[in-house]
Structure 1
């Protein structure tokens, strides 16, 4: 399932992130497996950066307060978000599939079920730089407004096309979902969306709605892995 979310960041949060990124140190992106490194040509903030902790706090707060993101992705663990920068000189990330296991700060590992990109530059600030994802429905090209998030299965073949003008800033992250199977996550997301619409029009105490909500929660209980 490929799903996008508008306005994950407020305008104030976006401005604060952009301001801190303008002072950040950048280095050639190397946080990838041996095969992906061959096609990776971008910049990222190193782990020892002074600004990285504050930036991550802003991103995680934004994710946690966005119920649509929680509903669609059902995150169990999230790799601390990182930031990348594409310019004309460091302009693209060729076709690749994200690595299956990623180390966490505590020494454990996360299985990558979902990859996500939070766009931090407006589309008219750069040419090229599209996120191109290939899935069972074909090829999709994504270039969202700043503050918007796109999430997709980590096992999808994807790339960032070359930037030919301007600068593309983004935040990327990997998640292990409570529900490993992408099709089950899609069904749960559709069901939760329908339930939230029903609550808005019918109220919370309708007997059938209570029963359906119980069914949703029991499916999560049945399909979750923790």
Structure 2
């Protein structure tokens, strides 16, 4: 672009208050026939009924604004807590495992993950593979001392004559795990279905989208691992663009 006389510039980030933005940007070009639409973020001054510095007058609107399709309905937020575990490998696609963990909000704890290792991972394990895990606490990957999860991996390796090998990702590079790529594909396809409010329908939709994932998509995600590692080295361990 420089050869054609066109300059390129980088925007400079500058901290400022929403009040400043409202005064300098919004109010200066405002048309009184318009309505300012804002989300319920704190800086917008939309929360609560009392006085605050940035609040502007807004009409109460109509009943339609409270329709399920127009709001983040409470049931939708509950559905977002569905937990799923799955295993992939080169030319391998495991079954989905829906679970409710023992932690807060159904989150996974070490005892839950030990059940998954015994019932889901070990029976189908191939000793030529390496179990890639992120550095989440329930996986037992943190620290160098003894813990029950590490001991169980060793025990299962002996019991099944598998010698389960495992590696954990750096805490700030979860995308070194190819399953994140597959999960991203599924989430994008779920969004194209629109908002789903019933948990049973959402679970069925997740299963259907998982069934559509092909071995080629899984192998393609795994084949990017050398490039991911190279990107990690270039960035000295910082997050990578995958």
Answer whether TM exceeds 0.5 for this pair: no
User: Structure 1 length normalisation: TM-score?
Assistant: 0.23
User: Structure 2 length normalisation: TM-score?
Assistant: 0.22
Higher normalized contact order (CA 8 Å, seq sep 6+, divided by chain length): 1
Looking at secondary structure, tell me which structure has more helix per residue: 2
- The structure having more radius of gyration, on CA atoms, is 2
Looking at secondary structure, tell me which structure has more strand per residue: 1
